[in-house]
Amino acid sequence: MSRPGVRRAIALAGAAALAAAGGLVSAPPAASAGSVTATCTKTSDWGTGFQGGCTITNGTDAAVDGWTLEGDLPSGTSIGATWDAKKTVSGNHYTFTDAGWNKTIAPGASASFGFGGTGAGWFTGCTINGAACDGSGGPGPGDDTEAPGAPSGLRATGTSATSVTLAWTAATDNVGVTGYDVYRGDAKVQSATGTEATVTGLTAETAYTFTVKARDAAGNVSAASNAVSVTTDAGGGEPGPGGDKVIGYFAQWGVYQRNYHVKNIHTSGSAEKLTHINYAFGNVSGGKCTIGDAFADYQKSYTAEQSVDGVADTWDQELRGSFNQLRKLKKMYPHIKVLWSFGGWTWSGGFGQAAQNPQAFAESCYDLVEDPRWADVFDGIDIDWEYPNACGLSCDTSGPEAFENLMGALRTKFGDDNLVTAAITADASDGGKLEKTDYAGAAQYVDWYLPMTYDFFGAWAKQGPTAPHSPLTSYPGIPQQGFNSADTIAKLKSMGVPASKLLLGIGFYGRGWTGVTQSEPGGTATGPAPGTYEAGIEDYKVLKSRCPATGTVAGTAYAKCGSEWWSYDTPSTIGGKMGWAKDEGLGGAFFWELSGDTTGGELITSMRSGLG
């Protein structure tokens, strides 16, 4: 799944230098050191309309926790579509607040958002968190000690068996409110930048009491709003927005160089947060499902220290290896289900032959997954065909109906008591891979799809342009339209695939270039940055210290350190993506792969918390 060259980046056409365009603030003056500043520019202007963007820079020595940028436009000029920020309008006055996932700006770092507009005018009177955008005047760091007023009018606007939707009247502040925190009793359960929130993960027919507090950029917190008591609906009603599946891939080869074993899923705290594990990969050869790595899968002997339950394998036991360790993990965590994933980037070449006789292929897969030695380990099968009727490592010409036929045969053989899922392309470009096969037709046979919404861009394009490999949305200058998660999900929905059968993909790694001089995306490069196991790719657990994030774009983080430029997801950006997945009504999220996380499971914790 995570392999170089999965997708091809194309040259960035028509890029406009920000410095050449008109700006709300051309550059912070020298006196602005120690301030939060903002620079807004038109990135392109065709007279009757424009595209623009703003960058907020934290020049203080403390993190910014939420931001609000405001300004006025002259009559006849307006802003429409906005990305990476939330927009409200009152007359000619525009207010942009952080999107949640990009609310925190570390000292010396920045956050950006973009927009499209009509008319020939531009902003006046820019303020950032109540102070002038150029850093002059207004409250300085630590000067604001006045807490916002308490929010009012808290009320429930919707309930289900597992969720409550709340709304309230905005609070006021001497500088500006940057966000709200929702409390269930004394516990904070949700944060929001607007005046509504949905609390999920509740129990049916249960009474809950909620309050809301406002906060400002200086960290001042208001008194609590009025309390509202709500009883959730009876079970069997409509679910809350979005599902709660958290699916992680376990790579069989991780037991070698990476020294990552099933026990690590337990010791990191990840097991209690997972709902499913996809074991990658089984091979596809000769038209059949076959073993991928017999030694790692079921032959490797584990010592007591290496074993999930502290019990060593014996020489004469029937099943060893990762399969036996997964059996032990499931006994310890009965809620986890395990699927055996077949194919992947390297072994997808065998699907073409398999598609010639789908029934025989399904029979072989069932016999292997349900082998008596490990039948209790697996709860179903996951297919990772890269890509039906399109090119991956090799090009497939099986036809647009082959994937549907194959998935139909698997469903017939595995029945309704087993899970049948598929990892699929995320290429939503015009004429792209999503259009090459009938994913909508095959959807009737799968429990869910895992669109691989990562690896959109990477250093297989050695000269760049640098771009985030897993953008949530499009952004000005993105090298290829349709290469982002939002477009992928929108396209699959438009094809007729239910949102509840779609999961959002997260990479627990980054992709990077070297020879880069530009901090922001869109810079040129000389080649892939060095990586531990492969050039151009590195685990999050390494990058978080080696090259800390310096900015965000399109819902993901990027980092510039020396001549290297990396993009990867952090706990903060993952939290924002999970909120988006819930808003879209998706079935949950998945990630590639478990060994990329920290020993304490930072990323999976953010996924679990974000989905509720």
The residues assigned a catalytic role are 386
Distance CA(227)–CA(499), nearest Å, equals 34
Helix residue ranges per DSSP H, 387-477: 402-414, 439-442
| Residue 539 contacts residue 509 (beta carbons within 8 Å) | yes
Closest CA to 480 of 450, 455, 503, 451: 455
Three-class secondary structure of residue 22 per DSSP: coil
| Residue 290 contacts residue 368 (beta carbons within 8 Å) | yes
Distance CA(604)–CA(246), nearest Å, equals 8
Length of the chain (residues): 612
Cβ partners under 8 Å of residue 99, min gap 6: 84, 85, 86, 113, 193, 555, 576
Number of other residues whose CB lies within 10 A of the CB of residue 561: 16
Look at strands 380-384 and 419-424 and give their pairing.
Answer: parallel
Positive or negative: CA dihedral 402, 408, 409, 411: positive
Peptide bond into 96 cis (omega under 30): no
Radius of gyration of the chain from Cα atoms? 25
According to DSSP, the residues that pair with 451 across neighbouring strands are 424
Distance CA(404)–CA(89), nearest Å, equals 47
User: Which pair of structure tokens corresponds to residue 33?
Assistant: 């050191």
DSSP state of 305: T
